[in-house]
Structure 1
Amino acid sequence: MHYDVISADGHVDLIWLPPDLFTRNASAAFKDRMPHVVEGPKGPEWVSAKGAKFGLVNGMGSAGREYVPGVIHRSDRMASTGLYDDGKKGIRRLTEPEMRLKDQDRDGVQAEILYGVLGSSGRLNDPEAALEMLRIYNDWLHDFCRAAPDRLIGLANIPNYNMEDSVAEAMRCAKRGVRGFDVANRPDMTPLWDPFWEPLWQCAHETGIPVHFHTIGGRSPDYSKMPQYVVRRVQATHITSFQMHMGYMLMSLVFSGALERFPNLKIVIGEAGLGWIPYVLQHMDLEWEDQFKDLDLKMKPSEYWHRQCYATYQTDPVGIRLLDLLGEDNVMWGSDYPHPDGIWPDSQEFLTRELSGVSAEARRKITRHNAMKLYRLSN
């Protein structure tokens, strides 16, 4: 396969999966606890027995919101391709391989790294059933990607409640050739400085398979008792600060010493942007030099970033200006298809504009070479 552009951040959202996927494949003990589709006030929607709501069937973004014209510009642009109209007709462009590839072609992209069912395991509020749900999803994803293994690179979704279960699922997926582990991130997840994570770090170190943490932001505020004008202020603050939550995760990981103990461990921070990272690296170095040299680190914190970590972004002109501090080997571009904060189907326009000031070699690394190396792809 010849690659010109690889999107290192694409999505398979639960609400675009086959409606009976989980109930059809769950064991008898879990069948009633699986996400399933019911008729709602705005049409078919995904729910669970414990009251979880995953969103409208084939809805907008990972939360399956209703598409309303004129509210979000990028959603309007996606709607102009017929994406949501097709969804209402039951045409699942995200999760039918031939249609997914056509949407890659529309965007000038030859392959995608696929994150899946964002936040759904936490939303299910049922840890045992979540493990079953993720196993079913990983099996479906394996078959989906086999239709075009050089263009559809799926990340196995790894649970995070019980580390024994997590490692078992990671190894099950590793044995059949998965290219990456996507930890099912949630706001109340065990912090990365906790020894709880040690078995997963060791698993990833030994297999060489990168571990991914996709941004989901902090815990959503409770809007129920706020006046509408206050709600809009809080929403603007929450959405704008979404990616900043990943700074704490990066600091927790580095200061845990995991990257020192496991030098073959590779970490990807998905869709968190770039511009904040140089400050965090500099500040970690400062504090380590000043008062934390007793930690299990033999190098500056920033050196572990450059040796073992990656970040993906969709549009970040400020971050690109800081590329010398970030490291051009540590950055991967992604379209974020089909989320409303992404840039599909206009990726080439954004890439041309934002990378016009970098070298041809840096552009090659950001748009394809780094992803090819990390996910073992070849031209």
Structure 2
Amino acid sequence: MQYKRISADCHLDMIWLPPDLFTSEASGDLKERMPFVSEGPNGKEWVARNGASFGLIAGVGSAGRKYEPGKQHRADRMAETGLYDAGLNGVRRPGDPDLRAQELDKDGVDAEVIYGVLAAAAKLEDAGASAEMLRIYNSFIIDFCKRHPQRMIGLACLPFGDIPAAVKEVHRVAKLGVKGVELSCSWNMTPMWHPMWDPLWAAIDETQLPLHFHTFPSVDPKLRAQTTGAAGLAMRYSSICMFQMTLGHILTALMGAAVFERFPRFRVVFGESGIGWLPYLIDRMDNEYLDQYRDIKMKLLPSEYWRRQCRATFQYDRIGTKLIEDMGVETLMWGSDYPHPDGIWPDSSEYIAKQFGHLPDDVTHKITCENAGKFYGLMN
């Protein structure tokens, strides 16, 4: 297959999954602890018996909020295509592989990388149920992508907060042929400079499956839920402007723990991270290492590990495209973020022209196609 455009960041959220997926596939007594779909005040909603809500069927974004016309331009643009109305009528366009392929065609995208249910499993507050939920999702997404293997790369999700279970799942999905794994992030997770993570890094290194992180809130979710009115509006504005940079905590923690030095086949992708902030942080890591942190004992500079083992994805970052040389063009991968309203589907061509118009065609091709194609084994 000839590739002209590959999105390295797309999504399949719970709100687009078969309503009985987890309850039908869970084993034994875990069935009662799985998420399911129930009728709520705003329509059909994914919930769990512990009171957790995972969003409305055919809702907006990963949180599955109710679509409100006029509130968000990109959501309105997606609504124009009938995305949400179709979902409310039982037609899950993101959750059906053939319909999803048609969505790619609408956007001029030949292939995509699909991020999964992110931190949803953590809402169960039940380690055993969370691990089972993700095992079911992983088996589902692997089968889902088999329908269009040259166009869809689904990431397997790793259990949050249970490192032995995560290690076990890495080895299981590696045998099933998955091309990458994703570790959900959380506000209150143990920082990744802690040595407790080493067994997982070793499993990633052994299987050579790239590890993916996606953005997570820059504000404590409990505080977010408690803050209303003008303060809530200000808080949400601050959060949406800052949330991509939360991944700097993970990058600097991995670097400070010499993970890239100790596990040379360990590769990491920062999904929907944006890139404009990265040159500063990469330069800062180099300067601090040379100035006072050589006891970390790395053979290379942080910037060299970045180029050797790290990748970042973004959908629209006008500032970042002016600083490509400071990150390395080979480390950057564009994504449409379908079907999230932070994304640019079905108008990717327009946004690509806006932010890449000043660059040579070969640079644009690398970022919007070639880098992802080679990284995920779609292209030589």
Q: TM-score range by the shorter chain?
A: over 0.9
Q: Partner of 2:193 in structure 1?
A: 193
Equivalent residue number for residue 88 of structure 1: 88
Cα–Cα, structure 1 residues 225 and 185, in superposed 2: closer, same or farther, change >3 Å?
closer
Q: For 1:66-215, what aligned pairs fall within 5 Å after superposition? A: 66-215=66-215
**Are residues 171 and 226 of structure 1, via their aligned partners in 2, closer, same or farther at CA, if it must alter by over 3 Å?**
closer
**Kept in 2: contact 1:217–1:246 (CA 8 A):** no
Contact 1:217/1:244 (CA < 8 Å) preserved in 2? no
Structure 2 matches for 1:147-296, cutoff 5 A? 147-218=147-218, 219-220=220-221, 222-223=223-224, 226-296=227-297
Matches within 5 A, 1:7-18: 7-18=7-18
Identity of aligned residues (%): 48
Task: Identify the structure with the greater helix proportion.
Answer: 2
**Where does structure 2 lack aligned partners over 5 or more consecutive residues?**
none
Distance across 1 between alignment mates of 2:330 and 2:211: 17
Deviations 1:10-29 (A, max 9, x none): 00001110000000000122
Give how far 1:376 is off. 0.7
C-alpha distance in structure 2 between counterparts of 1:125 and 1:296, whole Å: 38
CA distance in 1, matches of 2:268, 2:180: 10
**Secondary structure at the counterpart of residue 269 of structure 1:** strand
How many residues of Structure 1 are paired with residues of Structure 2 in the alignment?
379
What's the TM-score, normalizing by structure 1? 0.98
CA deviation vs aligned residue, 1:302-334 (integer Å, no higher than 9, x gap): 111011000000000100100010110000000
Aligned to 1:148, the other structure's residue is in SS state coil
Hey, what does 1:65 align to over in structure 2?
Answer: 65
- The offset of 1:225, in angstroms, is 5.2
Cα offset, 1:263, TM superposition: 1.2
Q: Which moved more, 1:298-307 or 1:63-72?
A: 298-307
Q: CA deviation at 1:222?
A: 2.2
Residue 161 of structure 1 deviates from its aligned partner by 1.7
| Misfit runs of 4+, over 6 Å | none
**How much has 1:167 moved relative to structure 2?**
1.0
- Separation in 2, partners of 1:124, 1:378: 39
* 1:103 match: secondary structure: helix
Tell me, in whole angstroms, the C-alpha distance in 1 between the residues paired with 2:201 and 2:96: 33
Give me the whole-angstrom Cα distance separating, in 2, the residues matched to 1:336 and 1:225.
29
Structure 2 letter corresponding to 1:270: G
**Match for residue 327 of structure 1?**
328
**In the superposition, relative to structure 1, how do residues 28 and 225 fare at CA in structure 2: closer, same or farther (>3 Å)?**
closer
| Whole-Å separation in 1 of the counterparts to 2:353 and 2:363 | 13
What is the rounded CA distance, in whole Å, between the counterparts of 2:301 and 2:246 in structure 1? 22
Deviates more, 1:199-208 or 1:9-18: 199-208
Deviations 1:39-93 (A, max 9, x none): 1001110111111110101211100000000000000000000000101101100
RMSD: 1.2
- TM-score, L = length of structure 2: 0.97
Counterpart secondary structure, 2:304: helix
Structure 1 residues 256-288: Cα deviation after superposition (integer angstroms, max 9, x where no partner): 101001111110000010001010011111111
Q: Residue 300 of structure 1 aligns to which amino acid in structure 2?
A: L
How big is each residue's C-alpha offset from its partner over 1:192-215, in whole Å with a ceiling of 9 and x where there is no partner?
111122122222222221000011
Amino acid at match of 2:11: H
Structure 1 unaligned residues grouped into runs of 5+:
none
8 Å contact from structure 1 (residues 8, 333) kept in 2? yes
The one-letter code matched in structure 2 to 1:254 is M
AA aligned to 1:64 is G
| Counterpart secondary structure, 1:222 | helix
Separation in 1 of the partners of 2:181 and 2:117? 13
